[in-house]
């Protein structure tokens, strides 16, 4: 029991329960705690850009062969598209099977369009394919980091890493500097992550205080179906994919339980990006593969988000008694394959992307998005959890294709008792920690 209270996982769980209690008993005070959650996420976003840059550049430079980098990138993108398509289909299938919106009989004239103004404004830039492609190119390298746009940072990082790799020995000092900087940023993140319990407490207390305890258990059929969809996707689809790679998705989830608990409280996977990457390296996945697949997956492999896209679109159609043809459904899936890319980092991303998707399907009223605004935060928890698990599985799969994973070590790490995990000594790099195999109780 003492180990539980001393672990980050234990403190986050306590903060989670504490936030619900405070929100239920002192709702007005609970809402004043929102800055704790918002401040924690801002601290995380402050260093995400530099970390992604350092990791991607170092991974490409250390890979040596740009052909290998390209091969890994192509395999990752192919995998992302396959999983995204499966996720979209699962969302649509369960929406039709469970029919969560049927019987609501919503009159569109009774909905307040003003609450959608901000989201639809962001969505305008996503309707134009050329505009979307131009948007991922930063005006300047500094501008990408200033805005914290992960897609733009990725574009610059890939170009920078390619140049560094081609320069070889002449760029060794630059490569060494970037590697050292990555250690510094990882250490900064380790300071910030210690504040996770406070961030979780503030976020959960505010949500419970604002919406009431009833909102935690009576979120409606849409939320129930979405959570069920995510469970099916993780347990069945990702479970089969991991089994084909010779590993267990459930053991992987247990191994990542600490990071997943933080995502559960904050509804954001940004907070655990560095820890996830290090844990995958300690599992035996080559750092160059981790450094390329994970950051790219944060923008291109949004499994939970994809499930929600088709589910929400069909829910709105059912709630407003809008008939959908097979042609409409095919358009929904095809448009979603494009609009879901780059959703990471957009304010209110789910609503923005849904607005962009619905605008391409005249049959479904965009105004219906007002219906799902109240539950967006709650479904955001499952979205973030599913996205994170999906990206970790993607990294393992791509590493298996490339023989960039030590399967024996991976099984050893995943089979450890729940009270143990691999952590690096203060002076060790992830590669050194992997080599030494330090296991500590937490």
Cβ-contact 346, 353 below 8 angstroms? yes
Q: CA torsion angle for 240, 9, 196, 265 (degrees, to 10)?
A: 50
Q: Is the pLDDT of residue 252 over 90?
A: yes
Work out the average pLDDT over 71-88.
88
Q: How far apart are alpha carbons 37 and 40 in whole angstroms?
A: 5
What is the domain-level CATH number for residue 123? 1.10.3860.10
Per residue in 362-376, pLDDT (tens digit) is 677 777 777 776 667
Q: How many CA atoms lie within 13 A of 265 on its CB side?
A: 38
d(C-alpha 20, C-alpha 17), whole Å: 5
Tokens of 428: 């060790």
The residue segments making up the domain with residue 199 are 2-441
Position 397 confidence tier, pLDDT thresholds 50, 70, 90: very high
| Closest to 430 measured CA to CA, from 257, 251, 291, 244 | 291
Q: 353: which 2 tokens?
A: 């992307």
95, 422 contact by CB (below 8 A): no
- What is the signed CA dihedral for 178, 179, 181, 182, rounded to 10 degrees? 120
Position 232 pLDDT exceeds 50: yes
Which residue, chain included where needed, has tokens 């207390």?
205
User: Number of folded domains in the chain?
Assistant: 1
Question: Is the alpha carbon torsion for 274, 280, 284, 289 positive or negative?
Answer: negative
- Higher pLDDT: 206 or 227? It is 227
Q: What is the pLDDT of residues 315-327, one digit of tens each?
A: 888 888 888 777 7
Alpha-carbon dihedral angle through residues 230, 235, 237, 238, given to the nearest 10 degrees: 100
CA 289 to chain centre: 18
Q: Which pTM value belongs to this model?
A: 0.70
Q: List the one residue out of 389, 421, 390, 396 whose CA is nearest residue 243.
A: 396
Radius of gyration of the chain (CA): 22
| Beta partners for residue 441, in sequence order | 420
Q: In the predicted model, what is the mean pLDDT of residues 350-360? A: 68
pLDDT above 90 (res 396): yes
pLDDT in tens, 33-66: 888 888 887 887 788 788 878 877 877 776 656 6
């Amino acid at each position: 029991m003492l180990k539980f209270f001393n672990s980050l996982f234990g403190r986050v769980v306590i903060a989670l329960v504490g936030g619900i209690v405070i929100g239920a008993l002192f709702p007005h005070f609970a809402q004043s705690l929102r800055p704790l959650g918002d401040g924690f996420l801002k601290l995380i976003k402050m260093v995400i850009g530099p970390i992604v840059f350092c990791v991607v550049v170092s991974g490409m430079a250390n890979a040596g062969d740009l052909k290998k980098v390209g091969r890994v990138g192509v395999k990752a993108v192919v995998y992302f598209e396959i999983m995204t398509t499966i996720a979209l289909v699962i969302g649509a299938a369960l929406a039709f099977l469970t029919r969560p919106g049927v019987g609501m009989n919503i009159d569109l004239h009774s909905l307040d369009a003003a609450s959608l103004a901000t989201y639809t404004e962001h969505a305008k830039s996503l309707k134009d394919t050329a505009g979307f492609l131009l948007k991922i190119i930063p005006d300047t390298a500094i501008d990408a980091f200033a805005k914290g746009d992960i897609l733009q940072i990725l574009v610059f990082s890939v170009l920078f890493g390619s140049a560094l790799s081609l320069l070889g020995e002449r760029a060794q000092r630059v490569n060494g500097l970037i590697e050292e900087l990555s250690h510094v940023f990882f250490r900064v993140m380790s300071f910030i992550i210690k504040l996770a319990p406070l961030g979780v407490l503030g976020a959960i207390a505010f949500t419970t205080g604002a919406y009431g305890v009833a909102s935690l258990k009576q979120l409606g059929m849409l939320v129930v179906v979405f959570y069920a969809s995510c469970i099916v996707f993780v347990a069945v689809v990702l479970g089969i994919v991991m089994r084909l790679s010779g590993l267990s998705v459930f053991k992987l989830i247990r191994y990542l339980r600490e990071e997943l608990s933080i995502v559960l409280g904050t509804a954001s996977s940004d907070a655990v990006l560095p820890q996830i990457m290090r844990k995958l390296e300690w599992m035996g996945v080559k750092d160059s593969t981790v450094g390329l697949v994970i950051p790219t997956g944060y923008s291109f492999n949004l499994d939970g988000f994809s499930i929600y896209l088709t589910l929400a679109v069909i829910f709105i159609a059912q709630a407003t008694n809008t008939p959908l043809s097979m042609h409409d459904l095919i358009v929904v899936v095809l448009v979603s394959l494009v609009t879901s890319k780059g959703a990471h980092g957009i304010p209110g991303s789910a609503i923005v992307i849904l607005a962009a998707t619905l605008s391409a399907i005249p049959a479904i009223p965009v105004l219906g998005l007002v219906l799902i605004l109240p539950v967006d935060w709650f479904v955001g928890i499952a979205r973030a959890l599913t996205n994170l698990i999906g990206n970790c599985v993607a990294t393992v799969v791509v590493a298996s294709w490339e023989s960039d994973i030590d399967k024996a070590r991976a099984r050893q790490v995943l089979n450890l008792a729940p009270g143990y995990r691999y952590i690096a000594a203060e002076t060790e790099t992830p590669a050194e920690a992997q080599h030494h195999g330090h296991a500590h109780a937490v």
